[in-house]
């Protein structure tokens, strides 16, 4: 990751959620607070950069809709930027709320970025302790945005600044920040950027303290990540953009390999959503450009 650029990554993700909330119907994920964390100038700047980049995403589409900037932006957001973030957030929060109903009292958000869950569910402040984990520059950026948006930090929300690949910080997270209560963990949009060794260590260390029945939801890329083009070459574009942003995608997993990695951490796969299953659950019968992303899977795994 390039120094001080995590805020850009977080902004683009928030931009996709905010755009979806304002312009798409029906909604896959209603993050009505995302727009509060982006200034109008930033929204306009990202919009313009995306529109100017249409030739990178699809030269043929650039020619077809060259005189309609709103349609250009809609095509880019719905085809490239939004499908996976929207579907994984919707899936994660559905599982999370179910786990809370079953007695979960701690929610650990790894790579939280500009997540807004704690602010959208104030009714859970006395039932759910929320720990957001991300690198210092991202958390500083988020705090400044919360302040500008006049969104007070809920009493049940706690920030832990750390690098998920740092062994010492990971150990301190487990020993000093986490309770040993039944917990739910999310790791969204992160596993692609970790080596297999880093992901394995993260899961093993994290779940040493958490009791049986604790669980995690995460998305991962399958073994076809680096040889699949996808609709309008969007998988290849995703890889190129990640590398250009200083966060190269490092790992793809065959299902059996992921199952073995989770087993080593004491986790069993409770639910696995393939791209086809994600399409059926979140994108079926849509008449816009939103479709599940090739090579991306979701998993809900539970500690034995």
Domains of the chain are: 6-81 (no CATH), 83-303 (3.40.50.150)
pTM: 0.95
Per-residue pLDDT of the chain (304 residues; tens, 9 = 90+): 444 455 677 888 999 999 999 999 999 999 999 999 999 999 999 999 999 999 999 999 999 998 999 999 999 999 999 999 999 999 999 999 999 999 999 999 999 999 999 999 999 999 999 999 999 999 999 999 999 999 999 999 999 999 999 989 999 999 999 999 999 999 999 999 999 999 999 999 999 999 999 999 999 999 999 999 999 999 999 999 989 888 899 999 999 999 999 999 999 999 999 999 999 999 999 999 999 999 999 999 999 9
Instruction: Please name which of 238, 247, 193 lies closest in space to residue 220, comparing C-alpha atoms.
Output: 193
Calpha distance 230→81 (Å, rounded): 14
* Separation of alpha carbons 100 and 183, rounded Å: 9
- In eight-state DSSP terms, residue 156 is T
């Amino acid at each position: 990751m390039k120094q001080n650029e995590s805020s850009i990554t977080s902004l683009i993700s928030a931009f996709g959620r905010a755009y979806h909330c304002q312009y798409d119907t029906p909604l896959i994920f209603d993050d009505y607070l995302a727009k509060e964390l982006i200034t109008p100038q930033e929204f306009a700047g990202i919009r313009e950069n995306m529109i100017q980049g249409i030739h990178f995403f699809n030269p043929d589409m650039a020619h077809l809709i060259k005189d309609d900037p709103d349609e250009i932006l809609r095509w880019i957001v719905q085809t490239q930027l939004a499908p996976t973030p929207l579907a994984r957030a919707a899936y994660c929060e559905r599982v999370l709320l179910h786990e809370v109903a079953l007695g979960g009292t701690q929610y650990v958000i790894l790579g939280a970025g500009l997540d807004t869950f704690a602010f959208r569910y104030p009714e859970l402040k006395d039932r759910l302790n929320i720990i957001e984990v991300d690198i210092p520059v991202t958390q500083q950026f988020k705090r400044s945005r919360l302040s500008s948006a006049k969104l007070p930090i809920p009493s049940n929300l706690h920030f832990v600044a750390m690098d998920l690949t740092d062994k010492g910080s990971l150990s301190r997270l487990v020993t000093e920040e986490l309770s040993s209560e039944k917990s739910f963990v999310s790791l969204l949009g992160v596993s692609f950027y970790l080596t297999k060794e880093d992901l394995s260590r993260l899961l093993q260390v994290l779940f040493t303290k958490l009791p049986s029945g604790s669980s995690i939801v995460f998305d991962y890329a399958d073994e076809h990540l680096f040889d699949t083009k996808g609709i309008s070459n969007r998988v290849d574009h995703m890889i190129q953009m990640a590398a250009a942003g200083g966060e190269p995608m490092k790992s793809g997993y065959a299902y059996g390999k992921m199952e073995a990695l989770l087993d080593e951490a004491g986790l069993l796969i409770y639910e696995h959503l393939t791209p086809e299953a994600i399409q059926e659950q979140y994108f079926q019968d849509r008449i816009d450009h939103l479709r599940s992303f090739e090579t991306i899977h979701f998993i809900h795994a539970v500690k034995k």
